[in-house]
């Protein structure tokens, strides 16, 4: 969805009747149009019509312009998982602790290294305030803390 805004006017399709008042010879008038894109990436087309009227000659003129505004995804995130076999020793068959319901077998298990790469795709910087890794709660899957980041729920 796209939203355009000029001054206090906001619309998804058309803003009409924005006035600049009387502009004297040599003066400049400026209006800022904001385009907010919450949909997919791609070009957005804006048709702008500027109408002027001379108070002296009662003459009206119109200038039409079409602008193409490219929109890009702000972030590109890629995830990766690498599994490695655990290096711990295999437990013995007579080790009674291995038959308890909360036992985790490091010998036959493995480790998963999860990586996330984030890249800013747009021409402007993005401030990342929070990143969280959330896992399913399970007593059979222990979670380890690496690099000062706590991955427990």
Secondary structure (H, E, C), 15-36: CCCCCCCCCCCCCCCCCCEEEE
- Residue 153 reports pLDDT greater than 50: no
| pLDDT tens-digit series, residues 44-61 | 888 888 888 887 778 888
Average pLDDT, the chain: 79
- What per-residue confidence (pLDDT) applies to 137? 63
- What per-residue confidence (pLDDT) applies to 50? 86
- Residue 152 reports pLDDT greater than 50: no
96 phi/psi in degrees, rounded to 5: -65, -20
| pLDDT tens-digit series, residues 65-92 | 999 988 888 788 888 888 887 776 777 7
Split at pLDDT 50, 70, 90, the class of 150 is very low
Split at pLDDT 50, 70, 90, the class of 95 is confident
Domain ranges of the chain: 2-71, 72-153
| pLDDT tens-digit series, residues 4-48 | 899 888 998 888 888 888 888 899 988 898 988 887 888 888 888
- What per-residue confidence (pLDDT) applies to 132? 76
- What per-residue confidence (pLDDT) applies to 107? 65
- What per-residue confidence (pLDDT) applies to 143? 57
Instruction: Please give the sequence-ordered ranges of beta strands (E in DSSP) within 86-144, or none if there are none.
Output: 110-120
Across 129-149, average pLDDT: 63
CA distance 128 to 38: 18
CA distance 95 to 103: 11
């Amino acid at each position: 969805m796209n939203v355009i805004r000029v001054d206090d006017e906001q619309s998804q399709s058309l803003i009409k009747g924005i006035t600049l008042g009387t502009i004297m010879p040599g003066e400049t008038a400026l209006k800022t149009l904001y385009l907010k894109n919450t949909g997919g990436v791609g070009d957005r087309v804006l048709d702008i019509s500027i109408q002027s009227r001379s108070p002296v000659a009662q003459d009206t003129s119109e200038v039409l312009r079409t602008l193409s505004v490219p929109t890009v995804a702000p972030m590109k995130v890629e995830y990766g998982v690498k599994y490695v076999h655990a290096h711990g020793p295999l437990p013995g068959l007579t080790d009674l602790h291995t038959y308890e319901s909360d036992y985790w077998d490091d010998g036959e298990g493995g480790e998963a290294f999860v990586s996330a790469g984030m890249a800013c795709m747009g021409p402007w910087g993005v401030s990342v305030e929070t990143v969280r890794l959330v896992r399913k709660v399970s007593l059979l899957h222990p979670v380890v803390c690496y690099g000062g980041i706590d991955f427990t729920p």
